[in-house]
A and B are shown apart, each in its own frame.
Chain A
């Protein structure tokens, strides 16, 4: 069953604005990961945050993790039209042996 639940399900912003996407999950996890998918393509790994980490940065990406609330957020700063894609959070549960559970995804549209 799908564990991750992202919100909003769809987000439309203007180029240059920041985009914030949230993800909630239900079980204890080893790590939480964010992926990006362009239409009709495979997924690309963006960033991984471990259960003992609270915040992580990678370029224009900032991820937070709150294990007490079982939630994570992905912030994309200074968005670009090329950031238009679907974004998924995925969790690796404790003892899951690399098996990931994906959320429903967020469709981000960045208007030029």
Chain B
């Protein structure tokens, strides 16, 4: 199946700093990628749809200035958590759907201290 690579897998940052998470499609082109957030023992909550060459579409309640998404190429989308706070600590996962099924990155465990 298709491969989606997410980096880093874990990151610890200080409160107030920004963190960038990368999501790459390794063997296919992805005009659309999806970013999710997952709290412990909970489901995936869609944060935004990343669109290559255009602005991301954010879900209701997700601050676009807080979670910056850039999809500058057909194989790379980035999520930047700006001015991170402890409540932003979570598991962030990206996915791409070259067909109907979704292929997920490995996820990024973000801890803000």
Residues of A that sit less than 8 Å from B by CB: 2, 30-31, 33, 35, 40-45, 48, 88, 90, 92, 97-105, 107
- Chain B interface, >50% SS class: strand
Sample of 20 A–B contacts (CB below 8 Å): A33-B101, A40-B91, A42-B4, A42-B93, A42-B105, A43-B104, A45-B101, A90-B102, A97-B32, A98-B32, A98-B97, A98-B100, A100-B46, A100-B102, A102-B36, A102-B43, A103-B43, A104-B43, A105-B42, A107-B41
Most chain B beta-carbon contacts within 10 A, residue among A42, A45, A88, A100: A42
Residues of B that sit less than 8 Å from A by CB: 1, 4, 6, 32, 34, 36, 41-46, 49, 91, 93, 95, 97, 100-107, 109
Q: How far is the CA of A97 from the CA of B97 in the complex (A)?
A: 10
Q: How far is the CA of A43 from the CA of B6 in the complex (A)?
A: 12
Given contacts A2-B43, A42-B93, A42-B105, contact A92 B100 (CB under 8 A): yes
- Chain A interface, >50% SS class: strand
Contact B43 A45 (CB under 8 A): no
Q: How far is the CA of A108 from the CA of B103 in the complex (A)?
A: 22
Contact B104 A99 (CB under 8 A): no
Q: How far is the CA of A30 from the CA of B95 in the complex (A)?
A: 19
Contact B102 A101 (CB under 8 A): no
Contact B6 A42 (CB under 8 A): yes
